[in-house]
Amino acid sequence: MNADELRAIQAPLKARYREQPDTAVFTVRAEGQLGEGITCRLGTPRGDVTAGLHPVAGGTGMEACSGDMLMEALVACAGVTMKAVATSLGITLRDATVHAEGDIDSRGTLGVAKDAAVGFRNIRLRFDLDTDASDEQVATLVKLTERYCVIFQTLAQPPALSASHRRSPSIG
């Protein structure tokens, strides 16, 4: 896809969202069912995924780890965003690899140390690029990728978050 093809696809969407901002808002959903052992089975359009504990928290490593999945989501989003931005700017990327890594102190999630945070302390995103673009063009590409990557921005500026529950009626 080239810049003109991308613009042609996105132009009517952008016009609609400018004229009717409420049509730009949509909800993304996920659902999981608690499974055998300490697992949660996610039904996705691409097939079921079973998540479990990371080995540093007592898992087997045979199931998907939600922390790994978050890094994978960041890589996927940043990669797609970078490709769209590069296409839009006319920057040719002969090859590009996106890397994400994050540091977690397992003591937090295991309740070993109250002063240890639960979750990622640091997340690093790196792009290995094979391009003839100038340093300035690459800097713009990375800056715009950060700006428009949904997962990057969600991590950088966390949204309001809530949890709730509801009881299913007992059968019997």
Domain ranges in the chain are 31-64, 65-158
Q: In the CATH hierarchy, which fold is given to the domain comprising 65-158?
A: GMP Synthetase; Chain A, domain 3 (3.30.300)
What are the pLDDT digits (tens) for 98-117? 999 999 999 999 999 999 99
Q: What is the pLDDT at residue 155?
A: 97
Position 136 scores a pLDDT of 98
Please indicate, yes or no, whether the overall pTM of this predicted structure exceeds 0.85: yes
Cα–Cα dist 47/35, whole Å: 16
pLDDT the model gives residue 169:
81
